[in-house]
Structure 1
Amino acid sequence: MRRLLSLAGLAAVALATAGNAAAADAAAPVLSAGDTAWIMTSTMLVILMVIPGLALFYGGLVRSKNMLSVLAQVFTIFSLITVLWTIYGYSLTFSGEGNFFGDFGKVFLMGITPDTLSGAMATVPEYVFVSFQATFAAITVALIVGAFAERIKFAAVMIFAVLWFTFSYLPIAHMVWGGGLLGKDGALDFAGGTVVHINAGVAGLVGSYVLGKRLGFGREALAPHNLTLTMVGASLLWVGWFGFNAGSAGAANGIAGLAFINTIVATGAACVSWLVCETLHKGKPSMLGAASGAVGGLVVITPAAGFVGPMGAIVMGLLAGALCLWGVSGLKRLLKVDDTCDVFGVHGVGGILGAILTGVFCASSLGGVEPEGYNMAHQIWVQTKGVLITIVWSAVAAWISYKVAGLLTGGLRVTEEAEREGLDITSHGEAAYGR
């Protein structure tokens, strides 16, 4: 009898164990072909944003003698940063639990195989997630190029890129997305308002001050040489931004759809808002204003894309168009800075506005998708604190990076003669256009 009871007990334990194992298997993440296809597509869309989107947008805004130099800087930064990301950047961002940096647990992508699923995007291979995040790192560093265009040495750009990527982009990305300080605090940043736009905008502003103004700034006409290319670049940015925002949902799901429509309407609203304000101020709407307003709308919705409803996105876009117009005009004059392509006026100002308004429009009463335990006043404070930390961190890291780059290259700026002739010939020995 005892033996029968003992066998029955063993059978019960075996059944329970099997049941627990089955439950565990059922709960284990499983690769989704649809999610994987969407994130791979999103990754390619973000690449399109950088090369050629951002390169053409900035290239059209500078003078013809510097067109090629901007293309070279953006293209090379993208190449450089994607390599550094896979060597150590991914590990320092998404491995480890430090407040400011991760660890070297996945340096050289150690431990990742084709069968490894991402911890952040549970239904997607980790290699795909690594690739997706590599494009975010690359475009953030490339954005800074527009601030100091037309007067910096190519070698100095590359050294600065390595240093700032390591000591500003990686820690801010870890703090927000990798389980660090700001993420633990509850900061919301769906696709990079603080990590990408404020971070890059502040670094660009610091660079504008450190390098000084272009020769003839304020005395000569330094107008964009090809607004057609700028419009093409802005359009490619808008298309690529769907991968940036909707891809950050991590899956082909309803939140991706929400981010998708928000990327349409916020951008459109900002474009219209900018043009209306420009017409009231100058009497005419400009193509440059339309393109700049659209980029401002893309920037402002980035941190909020998966948290706010479409009506909230429209309001954010309307506010961004007006505020970013002031950022590239009134604020720029107040700061007395030569930010060539208005990196801070659009990305810095738009990013700050978007990060703070995310704390407002994520409220369910305003059509948003609020986090658990949401309180508007508290969330606005958390968002503001994240903005302030990002500004200070990026500014300090950028200033040090510029100074070190200058020391290693004998000064950041090209000679006066080289600047007058143009960086295309003097830095690269070729021209964007035939002569």
Structure 2
Amino acid sequence: MSGLGHVAGNVGSQYNYTTTDWLDTGDNAWQLTAGTLVGLQSVPGLVVMYAGIMRSKWAINSAFMAFYGFAATLIVWVLWAYKVAFGIYMLPFAGRPGPIMTMQQELGQSQLPSVSPVLFQNFPLSTMVYFQFVFAAITIVIMAGAFLGRMNFTAWIIFVPLWITFSYCIGAYSIWGGGFLYQMGVIDYSGGYVIHLSSGTAGFIGAHWIGPRLAADREDSRPNNILGVLVGAGMLWLGWNGFNGGDPYSASADAGVAVLNTNVCTAMSLLCWTACDMIYFKKPSVIGAVQGMITGLVAITPCAGVVAGWGAIAVGFASGTIPWLSMNDMGRRVAYFRKIDDTLGIFHTHCIAGFVGGFCAGLFATIEGCAAFGISNPGGAIDGNGKQVWLQIVGALFIIGWNIVWTSLIMMFIKYVLRVPLRMTEEQLLAGDDAIHGEAAYRSETGPQELGMGGVTMGHDPQAPVAGEKSSNNVKHD
């Protein structure tokens, strides 16, 4: 819809808003729905999953890291970060920062001003800001999975806005917002690089700077609630329909292709991971199946709407085997990987799987899929465009390198300049949730007609004993 409205760099079109001839209500409805599905992946999806997959003494802290990250990202996003990622050109890898807070901006037509010619969407800028926010938020929440069980919460509070600003927004602008990788033709349909490669790299590097959990927590890391893990995993899987189906920015035919391919790849990946577990460990693992589900979702993300159905199956096979090998072979044999305490294996499930998916985009992208998505790439190697493979590698190397440098700089700034410890104290590490938040996920003793969960009574000081009950400091942890 080029030529509609006045291009003002995310200011919005100058219209009488009662006659918005650019608004497609179907596209707007789908985009808001897709954004909400992505939001549900974080809250409550990963909140529930993290609470269940950790030891019970870390359930509250793990869930709260995700909960805080979601909220903090939104405020940063609307005050300055959205424009860094999708605003007017400032640098080849960053837009000009600024707020999206006025009614004129929010009602105006969405546009990508750094793309030439400027791209318009058939929905308001407010919808675009929200849709892109949930992507930024889930990146932070995914990364938190590498830091669970020992990161100082104050350091996490500081880290989130800094990393969104100096790392996430750079990748988003470079690949999606009209930056230099976009202009080169790197394909990242829905965030295999911007979200997963970046969170996997940053999680691994951040885990290096923070240091490991207690030895006892590493040795006994059994989940406290596997059914809770499955509930969170189910929200991830179905929420991914909005994750990948929303990125054509319209309720288009290609959105349907992306949704179908997402589910096909994920199912294939889960089956392959389970088969590997059965061959190697002689047992099918529920947690392993969840890991295989996640790697399938991650790997299809950069190519969901540009590969055919057989391509989705091929990607699923790769994502169900290569990350399995990296986690269960390289992760155990290479000394450096044993040293780094990546709590949930985010490096393997997101960095490795994201790279696999991006590489597969270079191999299996089709001319028809690229055209349906609205990009000019002449497919991938399967259609004679071998150059796309090298473009995908270049894009991956930039995201990896940028995150290694900036995650390290941010961690060092927090530790050495602000003098805020990155790791909890030994006392906090021993006690867990009760010492950090004054709350516990499960009570060891309950009163009449009380459920055995929920470690704080509303309206009471969590450190003070409630009448007839023991102090929360006496909660027994696993």
Query: Considering the TM-score relative to the shorter chain, is it more than 0.5?
Result: yes
1:230 Cα deviation (Å)? 1.0
- Contact 1:86 1:109 (8 Å CA) reproduced: no
Q: Larger deviation: 235-244 or 328-337?
A: 328-337
Structure 2 CA distance for aligned equivalents of residues 55 and 211 of structure 1: 21
How many residues in Structure 1 have an aligned counterpart in Structure 2? 408
Instruction: Compare 109-118 and 99-108 and name the one that shifted more.
Output: 109-118
Structure 1 position 348 matched with structure 2 position 351: yes
Trace 1:37-186 onto structure 2 (pairs within 5 A).
37-97=29-89, 98-104=91-97, 108=101, 112-119=105-112, 120=119, 122-186=121-185
Contact 1:137 1:169 in 2 (8 A): yes
* Contact persistence 1:331–1:345 (CA under 8 A): no
C-alpha separation in 1, matches of 2:27 and 2:218:
54
Q: Which of structures 1 and 2 has the larger relative contact order (alpha carbons within 8 angstroms, sep 6+)?
A: 1
List alignment gaps of at least 5 residues for structure 2. Answer: 1-19, 113-118, 445-478
Q: 1:29 to 1:431 in 2, by over 3 A?
A: same
User: Which residue does 2:453 correspond to in 1?
Assistant: none
Q: Where does residue 468 of structure 2 map in the other structure?
A: none
On the 8 A contact 2:305/2:369 being kept in 1, the answer is: no
Match in the other structure for 1:11: none
Q: Is the 1:121–1:250 contact (alpha carbons within 8 Å) kept by the matching residues of 2?
A: no
Q: Which amino acid aligns with 2:436?
A: S
Say which is worse superposed, 119-128 or 140-149, in terms of deviation: 119-128
Pairing of 1:377-392 with structure 2 (within 5 A): 377-392=386-401
Number of the residue aligned with 1:339 = 342
Aligned residue type for 1:104: P
Q: Which protein has the bigger helix share?
A: 1
- CA shift in 2, pair 1:368/1:65, >3 Å: farther
Cross-structure match for 2:322: 323
Deviations 1:175-224 (A, max 9, x none): 00111011011000010011000000000001121122211169732222
TM-score (normalised: structure 1): 0.89
1:174-213 aligned at under 5 Å gives the runs: 174-213=173-212
Distance in 1 of aligned mates of 2:161 and 2:205: 17
Residue 371 of structure 1, CA deviation? 3.9
Q: Deviations over 1:222-277 (max 9, x none)?
A: 22222111111111001111111001111111010000101110000000000011
Distance change (3 Å), C-alpha of 1:109 and 1:384: farther
Note closer, same or farther for the CA distance 1:365–1:77 as it changes in structure 2 (3 Å cut): closer
TM-score normalised per structure 2: 0.81
Q: Is the 8 A contact 2:69 2:141 kept in 1?
A: yes
2:45 maps to amino acid: G
Quote the RMSD (CA, aligned, Å): 2.1
Residue of structure 1 equivalent to 2:303: 304
> 1:376: how far off?
2.8
Instruction: Work out whether residues 362 and 368 of structure 1, in 8 Å CA contact, stay in contact via their aligned partners in 2.
Output: no
Cross-structure match for 2:362: 359
Whole-angstrom distance in 2 between the partners of 1:199 and 1:117: 26
Which amino acid is the alignment partner of residue 350 of structure 2? Answer: H
Provide the C-alpha distance between the structure 2 equivalents of 1:367 and 1:189, rounded to a whole number of angstroms: 11
Distance in 1, Cα, partners of 2:223 & 2:354: 24
Describe the shift of the 1:111–1:187 C-alpha distance in structure 2 as closer, same or farther (beyond 3 A). Answer: farther
CA distance in 2, matches of 1:419, 1:226: 20
